Homo-oligomer: A and B are copies of this chain.
Amino acid sequence: MAEIETVVDNYIAAWNEGDAGGRARLIAETFTDDATYLDPLMSGDGAAGIDAMIAGAQAAYPGHRFELKSGPDMHNDRVRFSWTLSGADGPVAAGTDFALVAGDGRLEAVTGFLDQS
């Protein structure tokens, strides 16, 4: 079973990975094949759908990077963690993600919420 800290680090890395092959590998290590993602702005269904969604977000925010702000905070098969998205001029967004964790340690359902940035 993957350690949750590693899974969440890979999750953030996937959002930052501009190389398609590298991103696909990070997503495979982070999400179950049938994982879902849903936040107020976008959604992705399955690892491939999440990959395409992240590619779209990267295209919308060129030169921006996600960083882990707090967490992961896990109990039972549930985890939450908070992140920031920053550009050259500083943070432009922040959020808290909540996820169900599969038996192998990967994320199987992620819900994102937007915090004050």
Measured CB to CB, the residues of A under 8 A from B are 38-40, 43, 73, 75-76, 78, 80, 96, 98, 111, 113
Contact = CB atoms under 8 A, between A and B. Distances in A.
16 contacts: A38-B75, A38-B76, A38-B78, A39-B75, A40-B75, A40-B76, A43-B76, A73-B113, A75-B113, A78-B111, A78-B113, A80-B96, A80-B98, A80-B113, A98-B98, A98-B111
Contacts of A98: 80, 98, 111
A80 B14 CA distance: 25
Q: Is the interface of A mostly helix, strand, loop or mixed?
A: strand
A23 to B, nearest CB: 25
A92 B105 CA distance: 32
Given A40-B75, A78-B111, A78-B113, 11 more contacts: A38-B76, A38-B78, A39-B75, A40-B76, A43-B76, A73-B113, A75-B113, A80-B96, A80-B98, A80-B113, A98-B111
